Structure 1
């Protein structure tokens, strides 16, 4: 086992099936294994954020359900019970080794609002710098539209980008990414290194893999795409393997490593927020010369490059930028409201009285830059 003592910031995501027994209750043995590996990383100087699933799975039997609930109120009620049980166990285990666990419950709106996004980032940075172990989860008790397939896989990638992590480790009940579905294809081969997410790889990703979990390989690939766009190496492997987290960080684990060939054009924090966390509020259509200027030349968009304005939005909103063929090419923060832009287009008023760019180059992320599949 290679011990890399250079300080690293590591985000670990663990799925429900990797934390619970076959009856759906918290497995103390599984929790202890994970805690021991996190403690080892902490002891040699690394910073660790844990994105933990398992709240619904841990709580539904305490709620009186014989099987995992299907209705939203029951899921939320189970999560309210299970989240407390998880944190109690994590706190006890980490405190026995001298480390303090801190609970962070996040909703999608915490990411879509730039001020709240920054606040979450600042909170996590303070906790990490002071030696705590943040334990992050989707706030399932109050969230309406995110208790669904793969939410915590994506959340872990967003958290990794948020804290500028050096590694993202996604643990599940599978060994990694295969070139075909291993449950139905005996000739499927485990991919040890992936440098690009191709359509063929996405097609090989199947559905939800386990009874107690909500995520499958498809959601993990979506998470990997977000992490790779942020320049964060990612590993997917089987949680039950001995020293899986330690070996994953050391580059020695059995599983799949995802790493871009070049990270020279990775997104900064602002562009990460625009690309992956903001909620676009409208659309504009730009002409072909403007498209070339924005994508090939990486220059700002002038009002004269806008062909059409769709929807209603205010100045400072994030909007979708489309070409004349209807293809979405990127997202950007607009310097005019939709009403102002429509008025300018109707009057055919160009830059003489509109000194600001419609979208500045530093406020625009094209999908090819972020490796987003629309």
Structure 2
């Protein structure tokens, strides 16, 4: 999807920082770490990379500014109030570390409501393109001040994948509190080894993923792998590495060995903005399991999903709702827009999801 020639030969990276990477041992935003990040971004820009940063940290910043305990509150209005105060403080911190290099930052706050509508999705894409053209480093976060469960991305790994697709990025770097993808959970399996390269995310890899590993962050390896699958379909490589490793961003962008690289194969056909919007722009409303014949038709022969190939379904989705398509083993092989309500799934006679509204994962 990305065409560096349209950006005067420059490439675009989306760099995502989680709260656990951004904060120190006491839960406060680590200004020294941010300063080193700005140094790396400045060097990357000189080497031909433009950078968008997807950053957590508004809630810890807000709790610190309000003089409150740094553990995430359970009271939602308090969380949203902290995010409101903290976003200002976080952006000020970014401005402070980037200003010595003459780099302007901008703030972009998103919720699913902003991307569930395709027109809004395309407007957001144009805004990102223009900000990069103007030489800014956009700082992107979920709008925690107004987000509720129904419109939350849930974690910034998903948000980073969405931004990368919106902005036609050439690479995504997730700076985490772990070194990358391991053969097993290294916290419980000391003999686990780092997987340095993944060309295909298999069902076994997905099954081995765990949930959130930190009390500070909201994401885990499963969300990173889900993002990697969508990015792979869009042709965008992903690097997951430890955010505190020396020159982590520069190594990830220079193709030097660090963390885990999820490669992106050449796409067999162009992934349209509409399909990317389907993949990441709205919350999944249901799940459809298909038989082996339908799975093969979808993944290998480029066909639409027919009602006859559906084994079972779940969820209260409506026509136009985003649904996951699973094979008989329970592995998600595609995502698309249902052509009818869930209650009508048994009575359909033709196409359940049209190929033009179906994105297939590798």
**TM-score, normalization by structure 2:** 0.82
Larger deviation, residues 13-22 vs 195-204: 195-204
Q: After superposition, what is the alpha-carbon deviation per residue over 1:341-371, rounded to whole angstroms, capped at 9, x for unaligned?
A: 97xx79x9x9xxxxxx886532333xxx224
Change beyond 3 A, Cα 1:153–1:284: closer
Counterpart CA distance in 2 for 1:312 and 1:242 is 46
Counterpart CA distance in 1 for 2:309 and 2:207 is 37
Change beyond 3 A, Cα 1:163–1:30: same
Counterpart CA distance in 2 for 1:233 and 1:213 is 23
Change beyond 3 A, Cα 1:177–1:330: closer
Change beyond 3 A, Cα 1:180–1:65: same
Aligned to 1:60, the other structure's residue is in SS state: helix
Counterpart CA distance in 1 for 2:40 and 2:210 is 29
Aligned to 2:183, the other structure's residue is in SS state: coil
- Which residue in 1 is equivalent to 2:32? 29
Aligned to 2:278, the other structure's residue is in SS state: helix
Aligned residues of 1:282 and 1:313 also touching (Cα < 8 A): no
Matched, 1:277 2:268: no
Matched, 1:54 2:57: yes
Counterpart CA distance in 1 for 2:361 and 2:282 is 14
Matched, 1:78 2:82: yes
Q: After superposition, what is the alpha-carbon deviation per residue over 1:260-296, rounded to whole angstroms, capped at 9, x for unaligned?
A: 4544346222211123323567899999998876665
Q: How far does residue 109 in structure 1 lie from its aligned partner after superposition? A: 1.4
- Which residue in 2 is equivalent to 1:370? 361
Aligned residues of 1:179 and 1:190 also touching (Cα < 8 A): yes
Change beyond 3 A, Cα 1:331–1:240: closer
Counterpart CA distance in 1 for 2:287 and 2:35 is 49
Aligned residues of 2:325 and 2:333 also touching (Cα < 8 A): yes
Matched, 1:157 2:148: no
RMSD: 3.7
Q: How far does residue 21 in structure 1 lie from its aligned partner after superposition? A: 2.0
Change beyond 3 A, Cα 1:184–1:130: same
Counterpart CA distance in 1 for 2:223 and 2:307 is 38
Change beyond 3 A, Cα 1:200–1:306: closer
Counterpart CA distance in 2 for 1:246 and 1:80 is 32
Matched, 1:203 2:207: yes
Gaps of 5+ in 1: 351-356
Q: How far does residue 102 in structure 1 lie from its aligned partner after superposition? A: 0.8
Aligned residues of 1:20 and 1:58 also touching (Cα < 8 A): no
Counterpart CA distance in 2 for 1:122 and 1:149 is 21
Q: How far does residue 155 in structure 1 lie from its aligned partner after superposition? A: 0.8
Counterpart CA distance in 2 for 1:174 and 1:286 is 35
Counterpart CA distance in 2 for 1:290 and 1:192 is 33
Aligned to 1:96, the other structure's residue is in SS state: helix
Q: After superposition, what is the alpha-carbon deviation per residue over 1:203-246, rounded to whole angstroms, capped at 9, x for unaligned?
A: 33333223322222232222222212211110011111221101
Aligned residues of 1:288 and 1:323 also touching (Cα < 8 A): no
Counterpart CA distance in 2 for 1:107 and 1:142 is 8
Q: How far does residue 20 in structure 1 lie from its aligned partner after superposition? A: 1.6
- Which residue in 2 is equivalent to 1:353? none
Aligned residues of 1:229 and 1:266 also touching (Cα < 8 A): no
Change beyond 3 A, Cα 1:179–1:295: closer
Counterpart CA distance in 1 for 2:183 and 2:160 is 24
Counterpart CA distance in 2 for 1:202 and 1:308 is 22
Gaps of 5+ in 2: 1-7
Counterpart CA distance in 1 for 2:328 and 2:182 is 35
Q: How does 1:1-374 map to 2 (within 5 A)?
A: 7-68=10-71, 69-145=73-149, 151-265=155-269, 267-279=271-283, 297-299=301-303, 313=318, 317-318=320-321, 320=323, 330-333=334-337, 360-365=354-359, 369-371=360-362
Change beyond 3 A, Cα 1:185–1:143: same
Query: Which structure has the greater CA radius of gyration?
Result: 1
Q: How far does residue 121 in structure 1 lie from its aligned partner after superposition? A: 0.7
Aligned residues of 2:83 and 2:144 also touching (Cα < 8 A): yes
Counterpart CA distance in 2 for 1:181 and 1:307 is 33
Aligned residues of 2:304 and 2:354 also touching (Cα < 8 A): yes
